[in-house]
Structure 1
Amino acid sequence: MNRQILNCLLCDHELQQNIGWKELLLNTLPQTICPRCEQRFQRIEHQQEESVVSLFHYNEAMKDYLHRYKFLHDILLAKVFSKTLHEQLKDETRLIIPIPMHPENLKLRTFAHVDELLKAAKIPFAHQLTKLSKEQQSLKTREERLKTPQLFEVINPTVIKDKNLLVVDDIYTTGTTLNLAKKVLLEAGAKTVDGFTLIHG
């Protein structure tokens, strides 16, 4: 049973949780951050890419959030966007595939950040990609990212054959990661591959 979150995960202010019949019947996820913190994140109104949907701009609040979540290893912060992600992906019919971490990087970080975002939002997903390189895209320049060789390998082509897929990552910067994932999945027999990220950098 999940422990109820009584204070904002970002600023620790007490949350005013009003869980009524509607919330219980619709099984909506509870609020995990206060309205003040929520307002600091900027939603994207117009999508920049046709085949990629991103939810938030990479502003100062988001930069701070990502630093705390990914680099200070605060796994509880996976719940910050659980309600938003659940609303966005709960009726998804495409097979959801998270961008994986290299096993060595996973050991260092202790958790797979994209997996945890989806788990917190109660969104089912399937691992169908393995990462071949432990180089981190965030440490590369834009030019270096654009020249990145293939990063991924498909685990089981029969599972994705003729399927519509949605590849999920935390942040879209140059599009290199999603484009390489899309390329390898289409080559392995996927019917269509679209992208989804929490943030557009």
Structure 2
Amino acid sequence: MRGNILIIDDSQIERKIIGQAIKKRFPEINIVEVENGLNISEKLIKNNIHLCILDIMMPEKNGFEVLKEINDDITLKEIPVIVCTGISDKEAIEKALNLGAYDYFTKPLSEENLKISLPLKAKNAIDLMKRKEELKKKEREIYNLAYRNSITGLPNKNMFKEILGALINEDKNQQESFAMIYIDLDNFKEVNGAFGHTFGDRVLNCLSKRLKKK
């Protein structure tokens, strides 16, 4: 199993213990360690993170603040976050789950947690993230099939109708404008007949690239 995990903990020892426990079970996992949650958006995006393991009790910026920042960002909120806190701090666990945490584990880490529970929780979270990514990819493909020309990638009549319908239904007091280019290629049927449809597709692609540059 491949994936990138970001461990946020002010204790270097704790980061190493958590990272090694996961790597021992899943060697292909890539572990990134940081000591605080400052500039969290940059760290998550830069490292293409699939899972964040977050300590609650940290100076400068605690885990609740980091978790809230992640879940308030539409580009990051899909990344699962597993929080860790003291074994007796049930209120912290409840608060973290209410803020959108995917799961939790408690400190000190038992041998069972290190060998089984924590690695499997990490695996399940990464699998969930990858399923979401695959679903979004398929949704984009379906959207493009419905609203873009398969040869040129330019918007088709379905997209035009949707945009026009949205503009018509908007508040009449709001002034919106848009433009549409309608082009008829002279003798294009003859081009396909003389040189084949593959060559005709290349002509259309060349035209579409020129239009996109304008």
TM-score by length of 1: 0.26
Select the structure of larger CA radius of gyration: 2
Structure (1 or 2) with the greater helix fraction: 2
Where relative contact order (Cα < 8 A, 6+ residues apart) is larger, the structure is 1
